[in-house]
């Protein structure tokens, strides 16, 4: 069940649009922000809140890659850009380094559920490559030392 807080927030975005369905993306974003990922039950709840079928919510959840649909992630989600500009400046290195550091493979989550590591397409921060996004924040001009520092700061 969605919490009252989440419900309230979702209701809040409804008035931005001409119909309920348009709020689907925002609703899933709100849920993911609170819980890190989106469950089957969440999608059903959003569906009944917006008066659509659950599959139409799943369509949205599964199309946009930032939604973690039925895929729990760690407390912090590390997403390293591996598109061209970042790769030219060593994104591959960065990925390998983090994999070794956290002892996980790309796509995996550490045993203590602290970190999940993913690679992503261009995040629009090419001039400060290589870069990564952890949760909602950008970390740029990465080096091994920087990464150590950043990850240490995230509990």
Partner 1 sequence: MEKILLKNLNNPGGHTLDNYIAGGGYRAVKEALKLGHDHIIQMVKDSGLRGRGGAGFPTGLKWSFIPKEVYPKYLCCNADEGEPGTFKDRGIIEYDPHLLLEGMIIASYAIGAISAYIYIRGEFAFGAKRLWEAIKEAYEKGLLGKNILGSDFSIDIYVHRGFGAYICGEETALLESIEGFRGQPRKKPPFPAVWGLYGKPTVINNVETLSCIPSIILNGPKWFSSMGSEKSPGPKLYCVSGHVNRPGLYELPMGTPLREIVYNHAGGIKGGRNLKAVIPGGVTAPMLIEKELDVPMDFDSLAKIGSMLGSGGVVVMDDTTCMVKAAYIINRFFSHESCGKCTPCREGTHWMTEVLKRIEYGEGKPGDVELLEGVCANIFGRTFCPLGDGAVMALRGALKNFRDEFAYHVENKRCAARGGFGAIGVWE
Partner 2 sequence: MNGEKFVTLKVNGKEVTVKEGTLILDAAREAGYEIPTFCYQENLSGVGSCRICFVEIEGQKKLQPSCITPVMADMNVRTDSAQVIAARGAMLEFVLTNHALDCPVCDKGGECELQNMVWKFGPRKGRFTEKKIRFHEKDYILSPVIVKNSNRCVHCMRCVRVCSEVVGKAVLGVIGREAHQEMTSFVRSYLDCDHDGMCIEVCPVGCFMRLPYRYKARHWDLKSAKTVCPYCATGCRMTIQERDGVVVRSIARLGSGFNGRMMCARGRFGYDFLNSKERLKTPLLKVGGVFKEVSWDKALGVIREKFTRADPKKVFGVASARLTNEELYLFQKLVRSVFNSPNLDSTSRWNENASAAFISAAGIPGRGTGIYGAMEADCVFIAGAQISDENPVTDYIVRYTTAAKRNSVIIASSRAMKLDSSSRMSIRHLPGRLGSLLNATALSLYMDYPERLEGTPGIDGIKGKTVEGLGQVSGVEVSDIKSLAGVLRGSASVSILAGVDFLRFREGILGLRLLGAILKTLGKQLEILPLLDRSNQRGAWDMGVHPLFGPGYGEVKEKGLGVDGMLERANEGASDAFYIIGEDILSMYPDRAFAARALSRAGFLVYQDMFMTETAQISDLVLPGASFAEKAGTFTNQEGRVQAAEPLLSPKGEAKTDLEIISAIGSSIAPGFTGADPQRVFEEIRGGLKTYEGIFPGLNDSNGVMVKGSGNTLKEFEEVKEAVSDLGKNTSYPYYLITGNHLFHSGRLSRRSEILRGLLMEPVIEISSILADELGVEDGSRVMVNGRESGAVFSVRVKKGTPKEVVFIPENFEKAPANRFFKRGETVARVNITVHSSF
Q: 116: which strand partners?
A: 77, 109
Sign of the Cα pseudo-torsion (107, 76, 95, 85, in order): positive
Measure the CA–CA gap between 41 and 76, rounded to whole angstroms: 23
* 70 vs 93, beta carbon nearer partner 2: 70
- Residues 84-103 vs partner 1: string with x where CB under 8 A? xx-xxxxxxx-xx-------
CA distance 141 to 59: 36
63 counts as binding partner 2 under rule CB under 8 A: yes
What would the x/- binding string for partner 1 be over residues 36 to 65, using CB under 8 A? --------------x-x------xx--xxx
Cβ(109)–Cβ(115) below 8 Å = yes
Q: Which of residues 16-35 bind partner 1 (CB under 8 A)?
A: 16-19, 21-26, 28-29
Which residues in this chain contact partner 2 in the complex, by CB under 8 A?
40, 43-44, 52-56, 58-59, 62-63, 70
């Amino acid at each position: 069940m969605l919490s009252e807080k989440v419900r309230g927030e979702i209701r809040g975005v409804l008035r931005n649009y001409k119909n309920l369905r348009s709020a689907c993306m925002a609703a899933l974003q709100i849920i993911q922000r609170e819980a890190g990922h989106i469950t089957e039950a969440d999608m059903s709840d959003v569906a009944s809140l917006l008066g659509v079928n659950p599959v139409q919510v799943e369509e949205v959840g599964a199309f946009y890659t930032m939604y973690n649909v039925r895929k729990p992630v760690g407390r912090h989600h590390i997403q390293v850009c591996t598109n061209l500009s970042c790769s030219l400046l060593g994104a591959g290195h960065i990925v390998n380094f983090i994999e070794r550091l956290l002892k996980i493979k790309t796509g995996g989550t550490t045993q203590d559920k602290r970190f999940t590591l993913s690679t992503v397409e261009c995040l629009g921060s090419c001039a400060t490559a290589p870069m990564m996004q952890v949760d909602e924040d950008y970390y740029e001009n990465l080096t091994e030392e920087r990464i150590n520092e950043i990850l240490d700061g995230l509990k």
